[in-house]
Structure 1
């Protein structure tokens, strides 16, 4: 029973309807977690204690038993603090901050790759090494040369993809420390990075 404040007459806690809405919201979150593929699930900020419950709910094929297991998962999720649930919802949200940051990092990696393959590749490599001093100059130069050779020979883009992975690893390792934005790039991603 939530009761009323004697002095002001205000209710002391959330109404039963608000509690029910919140519980149903967490239940929907639990259903979504069970339906996610394992690769995406591994990237979410989930506690290790929740993973066995998700795996158990996936294994169950009986509709009623699965529903009961998802309800139990929702109960476990409700024990988490609000910040953890908000972080989880944000990571699942396509328009969430985490998704925007990941997309911005992807675009920055693509911009660096294109710049490394452009006409002024030596200047781009120097700028990349200035931005990321721990980068392997020889490996990046080799991947850029192999990519250009692949394009000339009309081969599959193996080195092209490997160059992207190398640049992406540099950006991921750098995290929020540096902008990682190629100089002179005034795209939307540059504006997003400025907000960070």
Structure 2
């Protein structure tokens, strides 16, 4: 068996398999960029040619054209430094995770308000600027709508009111 000197291994070009894995990782990163909104993309610090390529992908409707554009995005990604892009995507994912947590917290508050009359007092103590009369009216209407099997218009309005108070 031939033993390799570690120094010579460092100077060898990456294997074909490694190059393929690297290209696939860049394409996956590019694919993730295509899933973002235009506002999110424009807030990111992306190379101009990459931003244009991703925005163009989002406008395309033809499957074969989308495939070609995704290949082009992968090619453009080869010239870009992926680290800052990965960091920015991680920050965006974090924002969406915190937004989801906030949404679920508001949903729990709404459910508590609809089930427990004492929860209104808790909400008002935590959010003194809230309109108690409007909240109580929306709770009564939401309960009545649920009882009659009507669309939850007041429940949605209550959620909007809670979100604004937060």
TM-score of the superposed pair, with normalisation by structure 2: 0.63
- The alignment status of 1:82 with 2:83, answered yes or no, reads yes
Count residues with an aligned counterpart: 151
Structure 1 unaligned residues grouped into runs of 5+: 1-5, 172-196
Structure with more of its chain in helix, by fraction: 2
Structure (1 or 2) with the larger CA radius of gyration? 2
- The alignment status of 1:149 with 2:141, answered yes or no, reads yes
User: How do 1:66-105 residues align onto structure 2 when only pairs under 5 Å count?
Assistant: 66-78=66-78, 79-88=80-89, 100-105=97-102
CA distance in 2, matches of 1:103, 1:18: 37
Q: Secondary structure at the match of 1:114?
A: helix
Q: Secondary structure at the match of 2:10?
A: coil
CA distance in 2, matches of 1:14, 1:44: 36
Note if contact 2:139-2:155 (Cα within 8 Å) is conserved in structure 1: yes
Identify the residue that residue 124 of structure 1 maps to in structure 2: 122
Q: Deviations 1:74-130 (Å, cap 9, x if unpaired)?
A: 334441441422542685xxxx6555433322221112223333221442223331x
User: How do 1:154-165 residues align onto structure 2 when only pairs under 5 Å count?
Assistant: 154=148, 155-165=150-160
TM-score of the superposed pair, with normalisation by structure 1: 0.55
Q: Secondary structure at the match of 1:156?
A: coil
Structure 2 unaligned residues grouped into runs of 5+: none
Note if contact 1:90-1:98 (Cα within 8 Å) is conserved in structure 2: yes
